[in-house]
Amino acid sequence: MKVKLLTALCFLLINSGMLKAQAKDQKMGELIDQQFKFADQQYKILAKNVPADVMPKTLNATTGEVVTSNTAWWCSGFFPGSLLYIYEYTQDAEILDEAKRRLTILEKEKNNKGTHDLGFMMYCSFGNAYRLLHDPAYKDIIEASAASLSTRYHPGAQVIQSWNSNDMWAGPVIIDNMMNLELLSWVSDHGGDKKYKEIAVNHANSTIKNHYRPDFSAYHVLDYNMETGEVLKKVNWQGFADESAWSRGQAWGLYGFTMMYRFTKDKQYLDQAIHIANFMLNDTNMPADMIPYWDYDAPEIPNTYRDASAGAIMASALLELAQYTDKTASKKYLDASEKAIRTLASDAYRSKLGENGGFLLKHGVGFLHQNSEVDVPLTYGDYYFLEALHRYKDWYL
């Protein structure tokens, strides 16, 4: 572990702050074009490395082999979603065919009531598929997925339960769950049951009330009494300590409240997103290149890991937030996002063709305390990087 950390740190120290001149100086349109053309080639390699009945998840840093998951794993929607983002830009029929093959094995999860992650799994995949291809069968799958997700809602606590109850947790709710509200809100707004959006609003309101500290940093996990709504404990399961700010969790919240403002135009969500963004960007431990350390309060900073996935999620979220704020704030968020995108597109974070198992980004951190997915590619890091590239192209070029 120490050797691995030192190797990663040496690499990042050499590259941090010294991005390639082409990545720093080239126009964003050219950069985005290059990234999608690279992704088109690289994801064909990744597809060949992954059996047809499973999804890519990460890379085994020791063996260099792609680690896969079944479709019930929370990350299962990101590979087809990424393929669809690539297809949207390149119109490569081979990429679309691969996306459709992966959607076919994923479809059965529409009936999975044992997970809160159906937004990640089914909206990032089938949501993009329906947006691009307009196949009504995809919309039916999205609607069925929302129905399954809604079964995890507890009216007494007004939250969607994340993990199942066990000896450790009575009713755990994680900040990541904000991301799954997009599925519910979209279905309600596109002819589905209006109760789904009501559930999303109630969950978001409970999250504002309970999940955030006065400085607008978020806990990772809240444990609820699901009958009364009493919060039993607040912890950081994947962060450094219970009162620290786990970086990916902050990005999930930023993205989630910005998205909820899009669906509701409720100013409390916009205000919450602005507060979260300012917490992140003003934190003294935010690096100049806008790729956060795995936890904003990790004691080893700067001698610890960055999390490229947190940087990608943040970059995508800031691009949307910049759409809703005044000119000064918008420029700040756009500049920060652009810097993060340029950093991720540089040699410091983006892999070379044929390397990294076929994934796009390097240096993600899953669960450091359990030595799980440390300094490796993460499929959701790739997904939100591609989404950020699309958003920048569509909104700012």
Nearest to 163 by CA among 116, 228, 112, 224: 116
Q: First and final CA of the chain: distance in angstroms?
A: 43
DSSP annotation of 123 reads: I
From 33, 53, 97, 117, the catalytic residue: 117
Q: Give the count of alpha carbons within 13 A of 260, CB side only.
A: 32
Q: How far apart are CA 98 and CA 83, in angstroms?
A: 7
Nearest to 296 by CA among 262, 331, 250: 250
Q: Is 117 an annotated catalytic residue?
A: yes
Tell me if 310 sits within 8 A of 246, measured CB to CB. no
- 305, two tokens: 């890991």
Q: Which residues contact 298 (CB under 8 A, 6 or more apart)?
A: 240, 244, 285, 304
Q: Is 394 an annotated catalytic residue?
A: no
The residue among 64, 177, 55, 181 whose CA lies nearest residue 123 is: 181
Separation between Cα atoms, residue 177 and residue 332, nearest integer Å: 27
Could you tell me where the DSSP H helices lie in 114-266?
118, 128-133, 136-150, 181-189, 195-210, 247-264
Single-letter amino acid, residue 36? F
Question: Pick the catalytic residue: 33, 97, 167, 176?
Answer: 176
d(CA 338, CA 316): 10
Asked if residue 274 lies in contact with residue 332, where contact means CB atoms within 8 angstroms, the answer is: no
How is 11-61 classified by DSSP, letter by letter? HHHHHTT---HHHHHS-HHHHHHHHHHHHHHHHHHHHHTS-TTSEEEEE-T
Q: Provide the annotated active-site residues.
A: 117, 176
